[in-house]
A and B are shown apart, each in its own frame.
Chain A
Amino acid sequence: MNSKIADRIATGIFTSLALIIVAVLVALFSFILIRGVPQISWEFLTTPSSTVREGGGIRDQLFNSFYILFITMLITVPLGVCGGIYMAEYAKPGKITNFIRSCIEMLASLPSIVVGMFGLLVFVNTTGWGYTIIGGALALTIFNIPVMVRVSEDAIRTVPPEQKEAGLALGITHWHTIKTVLIPSAFPGILTGAILASGRVFGEAAALLFTAGLSTPRLDYLDLNPFSETSPLNIFRPAETLAVHIWSVNTNGIMPDIREIANGSSAVLVLSVLVFNLLARWLGSIVHKKVTASK
């Protein structure tokens, strides 16, 4: 077989594989959106859910999803970036560093249900908090930190070493160089990692079942005191997220419009992730442009 034919065959195989992937994605998205989008209405998004009656919405679940995402990222990003800085800049190559790296990789491949059970044991029972937002956020942090550390480390490592040398050769300290030269350069990579982690938080159900719970107390959205029991901002209240809601409606829902609620919620979930990604990237590029003065 001559190499020209081999090249054509390879090109053909890779193109068709790519097409299959795109086709699956398009099919999945259109299935979810075609079934779900007609269910979405202002009312659906702004009424609380109902366990027995028809016409329940997803107001609280939608809020909970974003709120848990926010709290999780508030813990995950600083810890993950610090871990990444340590691994990329301070850890001396050797057995201990390799051991830490293996631990991080193992943690990254932990099934989320195991993280959920661990969360139940530690953040729900041992602490005596019960099902709480903070418990869910901490469980998701465990779940996401390995990814965040890994991505941050890689992002910092891909900054050309000349940049670091430039900082140090000007008489700037190592830490200041990390802070003002390496992190801004690594920012797009770190942002991508944070967005990936957010997607996982948004879609996660198993780890939250046992930590943030399957219910939401009656919430008063005008009550902004984070210590009040009815405040949506209270981090010591149970909170069912959208992904958990889809699971629970499908498995033990007794309302008559289970299909509609599940379809609508799925579409909202997918669209939320999409909107969140686009927003984060847009904001990220604005920040990056501002810092690097690029156009």
Chain B
Amino acid sequence: MMASTITIEPQTNKNKKREIDKQKDTILEIKDLSIFYGDNQAVKHATFDIDEHAITALIGPSGCGKSTFLRGINRMNDLIPIARNEGQIIYEDINLLDKNINTIALRKEIGMVFQKPNPFPKSVYNNITHALKFYGKRKKKQLDEVVEESLRKAALWDEVKDRLHESAFSLSGGQQQRLCIARTLAMKPNVLLLDEPSSALDPISNAKIEELILQLKEDYSIIIVTHNMQQASRISDKTAFFLNGSVIEYDETEKIFTNPAHGKTEDYISGRFG
């Protein structure tokens, strides 16, 4: 009897664990989020949960508010004086839109990679150590380790290990973008916000970035804005479809692309507009 319970117990646990895996934890809770530029409402009452260790794709036609939404999460919209938020974004029980939030610490925790590769006009090495030095890491050995680790994670180490002290601008566009990802990873963020990270790159670099994003899913929660439907369906777990600032549909990517609940979603993904 005893022996059998012991053998049965872990099995039920395993089953339970599988269920938990399927029902992922939430990393960001978006609650009735609206973002305004002056009188223009760019994001309208968005409410949905973003899963931990998953890739969430934001799709929709240009100007639908998906980039604004993404930049709302790490408060990059604060740079625009006329931008204003309503609602809440809950991360680890705190509202990121709170006025008293230390945006500097927040952006370290929630990293961002932009559409156009934007390495600093410094060497490959210094691109990665730049922010680390600001946070007080100055020991050469420690920095060397982080540089190698982040470049390896970004699948760039083998290509640049012999040219760490050359200008980042001497790298190809795809390498520059992976350097930007490495630079963000070096800060050890929890969430990665990717704003069309491969739209400015050639197909081969694009494929490399996609492969990389899939690998990064193991350790990070990723939100990606993309115009590329194939990309969204290939790599994401969940997809949110934005239209005119509203989230029209948010579901498992598979469902969105095979059996969307909303007619407009179907029109958009089948290329009828946008």
Smallest CB separation, A293 vs chain B (Å): 3
The answer to whether A166 and B118 have CB atoms under 8 Å apart is: yes
Query: With an 8 A cutoff between CB atoms, is B183 at the interface?
Result: yes
Query: What 0/1 readout, one digit per residue, does chain A (140-178) give for beta carbons within 8 Å of chain B?
Result: 000000000000000000001011011111111100100
A295 to B169, CA, bound (A): 10
List the B residue with the shortest CB-CB distance to A180. B130
Smallest CB separation, B199 vs chain A (Å): 14
Q: Which segment of B22-30, B101-109, B209-217, B233-241 sits at the interface?
A: B101-109
Q: Which residues of A contact B183 (CB under 8 A)?
A: 166, 170
Query: With an 8 A cutoff between CB atoms, is A72 at the interface?
Result: no
Q: Which residues of B contact A273 (CB under 8 A)?
A: none
Please give the number of chain A residues whose Cβ is less than 8 angstroms from any Cβ of chain B in the complex: 24
Q: Which of A93, A171, A181, A295 contacts B120 (CB 8 A)?
A: A181
Query: With an 8 A cutoff between CB atoms, is A184 at the interface?
Result: yes
The answer to whether A172 and B131 have CB atoms under 8 Å apart is: yes
The answer to whether A165 and B104 have CB atoms under 8 Å apart is: no
Query: With an 8 A cutoff between CB atoms, is B58 at the interface?
Result: no
A294 to B116, CA, bound (A): 20
The answer to whether B120 and A165 have CB atoms under 8 Å apart is: no
Q: Which of A251-267 contact B (CB under 8 A)?
A: none
Query: With an 8 A cutoff between CB atoms, is B60 at the interface?
Result: no
Q: Which of B76, B121, B135 contacts A184 (CB 8 A)?
A: B121
Query: Which 4 A-B pairs give the minimum distances between C-beta atoms?
Result: A171-B108, A293-B123, A162-B118, A170-B131
Taking Cβ atoms with an 8 Å cutoff, the residues of A that contact B are: 92-93, 160, 162-163, 165-173, 176, 180-181, 184-185, 291-295
Can you list 16 A-B contacts (CB < 8 A)? A163-B121, A165-B114, A166-B114, A169-B184, A170-B107, A170-B130, A171-B104, A171-B106, A171-B108, A171-B131, A171-B187, A172-B131, A181-B130, A291-B121, A293-B167, A295-B166
Known: A162-B118, A166-B114. 16 other contacts (CB 8 A): A162-B114, A163-B120, A165-B79, A167-B120, A167-B130, A171-B106, A171-B187, A172-B131, A172-B134, A173-B104, A292-B167, A293-B122, A293-B123, A293-B126, A293-B167, A294-B121
